[in-house]
Structure 1
Amino acid sequence: MSAPHIVIVGAGHAGGTAAALLRQYGYGGPISLVGEEPIPPYQRPPLSKAWLKGEADAGSLALKPLAFYAENGIDFRPSLRATSLNRGEKTVALSDGSAVSYDTLILATGARAIALPIEGKDLAGILFLRTAADAEALKATVGPGKTLAVVGGGYIGLEVAASGRALGAEVVVLEREARILARVACKALSDFFTGYHEKHGVTFELGCSVVGFEGRDGHVSGVKLADGRVIACDAVVVGVGAHPNDELARDAGLECARGVVVDLDARSVSDPNVFAIGDVAHRPMPIYDRMFRMESVPNALEQAKQAASAVTGRPRPLGECPWQWSDQYDLKLQIAGYAFDVDEILIRGDPATARFAVFHLKGDQVQSVEAINAPPEFMMGKMLILNRKPVNKAKLADTCVSMKEVTA
């Protein structure tokens, strides 16, 4: 009897890591890795930073060299998209008209940028930042004498703004809410980043609604606002969120809740032969006693470990504290946890020094920490969140007290 065939649909950080881990964990059967892009799996966070500034390329960001896949018996199939899933026959139809059979299927289809359904949306120069091709197109567009408009004041938008300024472009950030980062951070952090970007020459238009794009000779030339103004620009990056690519799963009857619903092994709750990992998975978060969909590299790596462990019969990996990061100028923001059910916000340090941390508390427990150039606060914060240890708030607020001494 031939060894079970594992098919991984999606060759991003999650899918590429899962393929490598399966071999690392001793799986000797056939593995197929299907990806839409023409290049092997690579790191995506540097796209908005190092890639735009010319400090990285596809080779330097690759998770593994292309030769790794052939050398390890992984059938890497680039430039292919999965078009349908037949769970009864255990087959996945591909965009070239072929089909691949599986015994175990790992869905790592990620998420896609949300497009604005407005006038002029198809003009050249309106870009997103999800792939290496996106980053290359943007890098070729921005520079001295150019103006970049960024629609959306989230972390990706701010990273693009910082890189745009580093390349010499004028940058204006357009945000619908009254402050940047309104959906993901507290006001103190929003105010800090607004001021820091303004010092570097970024202009903000807050509380504005984008209603269309103007163009010249088929290329975007301006962003139309609801108040009638037009913001002139040479390129636009739209960063207003992402939607999970869960249509394949939905059409196949798998339970989805803005992402494929999975258990602690990253296994679909609808089909024991199907796993979902990374941005497309709606997963349990035991720390917070809820389900949630996360978009981060650490989450992709954790779920790749969960799926590979389950497939190979290894013990389930220990749960981790979710975390993510953002690099802007000389700032490193590290975020641990999520601010669920928070009743108090405590700031440790002075934002004016660009070294401080914002702790989100539920009673005397830390739910989340946002640390700016503050590694000890981030690292200890992760431990406090994961271990659910109570803290002494007075000690936590006092920078003269080490983070090791803040527990109650």
Structure 2
Amino acid sequence: MNARPESVVIVGAGQAGLQAAASLRDEGYEGVIRLIGDEAGLPYQRPPLSKSFLTGDVAADELSLEEAHWFDDARIEWLADERVSAIDRRRRRLSLASGRIVPYDHLVLATGSRNRTLPFLTQPTHGVVSLRSVSDAQRLRTALGEARRVVVIGGGFLGLEVASIAAARGCDVHVVESVDRVMKRAISAEMSAACAAHHQAAGVRFSFDARVAGIVGHGESVSAVELADGARLDADLVLVAAGVAPNSELAAACGLSVFNGVIVDERLRTSDPAISAIGDCAAFPYAFDGGDLLRLESVQNAVDQARHVARSLLGDATPYDQTPVFWSDQGGARLQIAGVARRLDSSVVRGDPASGAFSVFRYRHHRLTGVESCNRPADHMSARRLLQRRISPSREQAADPSFNLKLLLTTEEAV
């Protein structure tokens, strides 16, 4: 990829895809850019769908990432409501479901991820919803206005965000989680316990280590969720929030290396140097963890990778090296995470969890791997800079709320 490609085609018009197109122009690229999206409307933000859009604080027309004229102004050909059916790597061209053939010099896959479904949900049932698109969010917002008993299947970020909104509206809310605590894949036991207690104080009930056996209907509408132990949870609205899977089928079908996402190198190139992958669909070598492959579902990661791939296409050989950042609003608890900790990393708590404002610093031996902050934005901002510069406060410093973490940024050298 030393020579600049004459044309770049981007598959996926979400946050990553649109940012890649915009960044190419921002970096001075003058070639042809085509952006292909499988939804009919303008590219839009997804995070508000489970937050401010669901509460009614943000309208549908405020979700758009760009207005329609932006594509013409930026000289970007936008192919909306088009689905790519195949990639021909030898001829460097795409086949669309509409029959159109689209050539490329370089291809960027930003195909994102999709919601996992429950195996027994083989046909639509009124009152059983998922949340991925604007249309999903509109249906869920309408249903929440009428619901009295809500069951959320999945205790991850999205499920808990919706649970907090439903509880605030006076609904009876029950969260079913297949493991022993909420957000187990993403956060520490200490933060998990505090978040669960926060939701329980708002009236949300939990079933842990629970498996959903089926959905019970009354006519064509849901009436209950049945658990494997025989328990029945009454419901007139069920949200299935059981995680996501990467959209890597296109990549696999054309012979690219795939394992929990499209595998890329440190410059976000796939096993074919004429194809890159970014965002939720990409499994990349995590620079902060010895290069182990990592796939992230994060807006910040999508934006950072999009910007990086644009620079890379224009000749920058710098490896991708950005601190991952995540955030979630859950009924007055703002959770912010910097870095990615592993299951066996140890924890140091900074502040009092009972106060609702504290942080958890995660360590592998003496190296800081991640920081989770609840209603402590200053800790979060310091953590992002510490992690990016490989600076690790001692456990004693992290545990002392009076210790000024910013001092380390000016007085210590990166490890």
Per the TM superposition, whether the score is higher than 0.5 is yes
Q: Find the aligned partners of 2:75 and 2:330 in 1 and give their Cα distance.
A: 39
Q: Does 1:128 align with 2:135?
A: no
Distance 2:212 2:195 in 1: 22
Distance in 1 (CA, whole Å) between partners of 2:206 and 2:276 is 42
Q: Which residue among 202, 205, 209 is the counterpart of 2:204?
A: 202
Q: How does 1:274-313 map to 2 (within 5 A)?
A: 274-289=275-290, 290-313=292-315
Give yes or no for the alignment of 1:271 onto 2:272: yes
Distance 1:307 1:343, change over 3 A: closer
In 2, the alpha carbon distance for the partners of 1:274 and 1:156 equals 31
Counterparts of 2:319 and 2:141, CA distance in 1: 39
- Equivalent position amino acid for 1:249 in 2: A
Q: In the alignment, which of 5, 8, 20 is matched to residue 6 of structure 1?
A: 8
Q: 1 CA distance for matches of 2:20 and 2:95? A: 21
Percent of matched pairs sharing the same residue: 38
Contact 1:144/1:169, CA 8 A, preserved across alignment? no
Give the deviation of 1:359 after TM superposition: 0.7
Counterpart residue number, 1:330? 332
CA–CA separation in structure 2 for the residues paired with 1:52 and 1:84: 35
Q: Residue 167 of structure 2 aligns to which amino acid in structure 1?
A: R
Q: Provide the TM-score with structure 1 as the length reference.
A: 0.95
> Which whole-Å CA distance do the structure 1 matches of 2:121 and 2:32 have between them?
48
Matches within 5 A, 1:8-157: 8-118=10-120, 122-143=124-145, 145-157=147-159
Give the deviation of 1:315 after TM superposition. 5.8
Q: SS in structure 2 opposite 1:141?
A: helix
Q: Which digits, 9 at most, give the CA deviation of each residue in 1:228-286, with x for residues without a partner?
A: 12212122111111110000000000011111111222111x11111101000011111
Take 1:318 and 1:247, find their aligned partners in 2: how far apart are those partners? Answer: 24
* Aligned residue in 1 for 2:349: 347
Q: 1:107 and 1:78 mapped to 2: Cα distance?
A: 16
- The answer for unaligned runs of 5 or more in structure 1 is none
Counterpart code for 2:276: F
RMSD: 1.9
- 1:121: Cα distance to partner? 5.6
Pairing 1:146-225 to 2, within 5 Å after superposition: 146-225=148-227
8 Å contact kept, 2:360–2:373: yes
Between 55-64 and 41-50, the greater mean CA deviation after superposition: 55-64
Amino acid at match of 1:282: A
Aligned residues: 406
Q: Is the 8 A contact 1:109 1:245 kept in 2?
A: yes
Which deviates further from its counterpart, 35-44 or 292-301?
A: 35-44
Q: Gaps spanning 5+ residues in structure 2: where?
A: none
Aligned residues of 1:153 and 1:180 also touching (Cα < 8 A): yes
Contact 2:155 2:176 in 1 (8 A): yes
Evaluate the alpha carbon distance shift between residue 106 and residue 145 of structure 1 in structure 2; reply closer, same or farther with a 3 A threshold: closer
Letter in 2 for 1:308: A
Change (3 A) 1:65 1:26: same
Q: What whole-Å deviation, never above 9, does each CA across 1:310-369 have from its counterpart, x for those lacking one? A: 222346477211111111122211101111374421000001111100011122221111
SS of aligned partner of 1:402: coil
